[in-house]
Amino acid sequence: MERSSAIALALCVAVSFGCGKSERAGPTAEGALETPAKSKGARIVDLPADFPRDVPVIKGATVKVAMSQGNRMVVHLYTSSPVAEAAKFYDEALKGQGWQIESSTIASDMSTLSARKGRSLCGVTVSREGRGTLVRLAVSEAGS
């Protein structure tokens, strides 16, 4: 009994940390993203081809991570914009694309925002990382 519980726990942990997720490369948003400098061992990551067109991408951002599993997608962007500026951009740009902001929190080094558009959900977390800013976009459908 204990062994099967341990196996079940290990599987849950593996799934929650991305086991089974696949990275897909696709076109970048037109003119919105910069490609990171090619260096030895560096890997170029693009937005997934099926990244929703109504989810804005802050100008000048570099895609660091793009993962999809089923109808859930997570994209990490790195930008030189300050946290407050990036957070303001996402608040205004999502509203401009027809998203309804359900909640938002703003602090000096971190900001979060949750939005809904029809059955789609978009979570945005903006935080300081090194000398720049990390933007985490999580997009999925409600009820999935």
pLDDT tens sequence across 69-87: 888 999 999 999 999 999 9
Considering the entire predicted model, what is its pTM?
0.70
**How far is CA 35 from its chain centroid?**
17
* Separation between Cα atoms, residue 140 and residue 73, nearest integer Å: 6
Is pLDDT above 70 for 103? yes
Average pLDDT over residues 51-67: 95
Of the two residues 3 and 61, the one the predictor is more confident about is 61
Average pLDDT over residues 7-20: 35
- Which band of pLDDT confidence, cut at 50, 70 and 90, is reported for residue 44? low
Structural domain boundaries in the chain? 22-141
- Which band of pLDDT confidence, cut at 50, 70 and 90, is reported for residue 93? very high
Is pLDDT above 80 for 45? no
Of the two residues 36 and 59, the one the predictor is more confident about is 59
Q: In the prediction, which pLDDT does 134 show?
A: 98
The listed range with the strongest mean pLDDT (4-8, 12-16, 94-98) is: 94-98
Is pLDDT above 50 for 130? yes
Q: In the prediction, which pLDDT does 37 show?
A: 41
CATH of 22-141, one of 3.30.9, 3.40.1360, 3.40.50, 3.40.1000: 3.40.1000
* Separation between Cα atoms, residue 90 and residue 105, nearest integer Å: 13
Angle at 110 between CA 108 and CA 115, to 5 degrees: 125
Handedness of CA 116, 20, 49, 30 (dihedral sign): positive
